[in-house]
């Protein structure tokens, strides 16, 4: 793994692995070279919009910036990329607020189980006071900052290779893969599952080799990462909404003069807004498409799962951890949660 990553990084600095975004301007060396890494397949809307965005930044800066996109964990898994972006080895990175929770615990508040009833609540909160609160914590407690518009991951659903999940008891003892985040561990322990923390880079093979029998992710990821090839059942739980903060290393970004900062900021936020629409449009057709590929779907009663979390003291615990003030901001958008 280590060797692979070094090899990749060496290749990357020689320009060997970059998407072709910088090629048009290759004759003239850019003043600012930026690396942006993410964990999603090239087929996911995130990478389509990221490629467009990089090309726009390079063109609008008239070649002064060379913004390079490294999709699909090419630079390492999320844990690796988080440490790279913290040190400045990577300049930009998109990360779930919950995985960011390993560094900035307050960021996890947007993942509270069954909090947002629909996307209008999600975007009001994340583009409003809740998002502002989290971005402030990120900037105050790390070498990172987050751009204003969070990108969409989606509402998460549970897939398994063994059985449909119809009520909370079905989760008891289930070997379910979850991303590396204290919040996810706590939630699936509250469900009495046996959660395994595994980076997304290793999820397909963990499911294929049955290290894990289950995982949870939005439909757009299940489809673009082809998890349906190694999972049979998809239980629509909508147990949490998840996004991707577009993170930047403060020092790298501060190297830019204001006019170039404006170009980068405007294009990143605009691409995020388009990605939100793309994920929604893609998701709308995916139950039918995945059924066509052999997945068995079932719906669930959210109240049963929410009651289980309540009874386990999950809401009370995280209310206390996030604090009264932040919790009030969340409930301003979601209504009373406990």
Do β-strands 151-155 and 241-249 pair in parallel, antiparallel, or remain unpaired? antiparallel
> Could you say which of 18, 21, 39, 73 contacts ligand X2X (CB under 6 A)?
39
Binding mask 173-192 for ligand X2X (x = CB under 6 A): ------x-------------
Residue nearer to ligand X2X on the CB measure, 58 or 153: 153
Asked if 70 interacts with ligand X2X (CB under 6 A), we say no
Q: How far apart are CA 131 and CA 121, in angstroms?
A: 12
Please report, in angstroms and rounded to a whole number, the separation of the first and last CA atoms in the chain: 44
Instruction: Indicate whether 200 belongs to the interface with ligand X2X (CB under 6 A).
Output: yes
> Which of 189, 111, 172, 168 is CA-nearest to residue 304?
168
**What is the helix, strand, coil percentage profile of the chain, to 5?**
50, 15, 30
| Cβ 150 to ligand X2X shortest distance, Å | 13
CA distance linking residue 249 with residue 291, whole number of Å: 41
Binds ligand X2X by CB under 6 A, chosen from 61, 73, 153, 228? 153
User: How does strand 32-37 pair with strand 65-70?
Assistant: parallel
Site size toward ligand X2X (CB under 6 A) is 9
Exactly one of 130, 134, 221, 268 binds ligand X2X (CB under 6 A); that residue is 221
Least distance from ligand X2X to the Cβ atom of residue 48, Å: 16
97 scored as a contact of ligand X2X (CB under 6 A): no
Smallest Cα–Cα separation from 60: which of 277, 273, 276, 256?
256
Distance between CA atoms of 235 and 215, rounded to whole angstroms? 11
> In angstroms, what is the minimal distance from the CB of 223 to ligand X2X?
12
Told to check if 47 binds ligand X2X by CB under 6 A, we report: no
Tokens of 200: 């997304």
Kindly state whether residue 241 participates in binding ligand X2X, applying the rule CB under 6 A. Answer: no
Q: Does residue 224 interact with ligand X2X by CB under 6 A?
A: no
CB atoms within 10 A of CB 215: 29
Is position 228 an interface residue for ligand X2X (rule: CB under 6 A)? no
Compute the least distance from the CB of residue 84 to ligand X2X, in Å. Answer: 16
Provide the binding-site residues for ligand X2X, judged by CB under 6 A.
39, 96, 99, 153, 179, 200, 217, 221, 242
């Amino acid at each position: 793994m280590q060797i692979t990553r070094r090899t990749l990084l060496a290749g990357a600095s020689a320009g060997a692995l970059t998407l072709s975004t910088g090629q048009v301007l290759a004759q003239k060396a850019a003043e600012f070279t930026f690396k942006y890494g993410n964990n999603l397949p090239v087929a996911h809307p995130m990478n389509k919009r990221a490629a467009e965005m990089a090309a726009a930044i390079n063109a609008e800066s008239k070649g002064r910036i060379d913004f390079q996109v490294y999709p699909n964990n090419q630079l390492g898994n999320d844990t690796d990329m988080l440490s790279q972006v913290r040190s400045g080895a990577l300049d930009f990175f998109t990360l779930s607020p919950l995985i960011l929770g390993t560094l900035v615990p307050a960021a996890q508040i947007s993942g509270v189980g069954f909090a947002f009833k629909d996307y209008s609540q999600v975007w009001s909160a994340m583009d409003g006071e809740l998002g502002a609160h989290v971005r402030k914590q990120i900037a105050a407690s790390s070498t990172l900052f987050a751009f204003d518009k969070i990108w969409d991951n989606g509402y998460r659903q549970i897939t398994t290779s063994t059985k449909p999940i119809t009520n909370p008891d079905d989760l008891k003892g289930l070997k379910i893969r979850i991303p590396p985040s204290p919040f996810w561990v706590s939630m699936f322990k509250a469900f009495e599952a046996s959660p395994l923390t595994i980076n997304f880079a290793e999820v397909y093979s963990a499911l294929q080799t049955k290290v894990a029998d289950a995982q949870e992710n939005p439909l757009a990821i299940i489809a673009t990462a082809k998890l349906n090839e190694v999972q049979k059942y998809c239980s629509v739980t909508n147990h949490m909404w998840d996004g991707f903060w577009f993170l930047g290393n403060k020092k790298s970004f501060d190297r830019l003069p204001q006019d170039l900062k404006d170009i980068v900021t405007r294009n990143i936020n605009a691409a995020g807004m388009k990605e939100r629409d793309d994920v929604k449009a893609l998701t709308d057709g995916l139950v039918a498409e995945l059924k066509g590929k052999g997945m068995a779907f079932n719906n669930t009663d959210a109240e049963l799962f929410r009651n289980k979390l309540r009874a386990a003291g999950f809401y009370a615990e995280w209310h206390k951890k996030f604090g009264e003030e932040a919790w009030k901001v969340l409930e301003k958008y979601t209504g009373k949660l406990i």
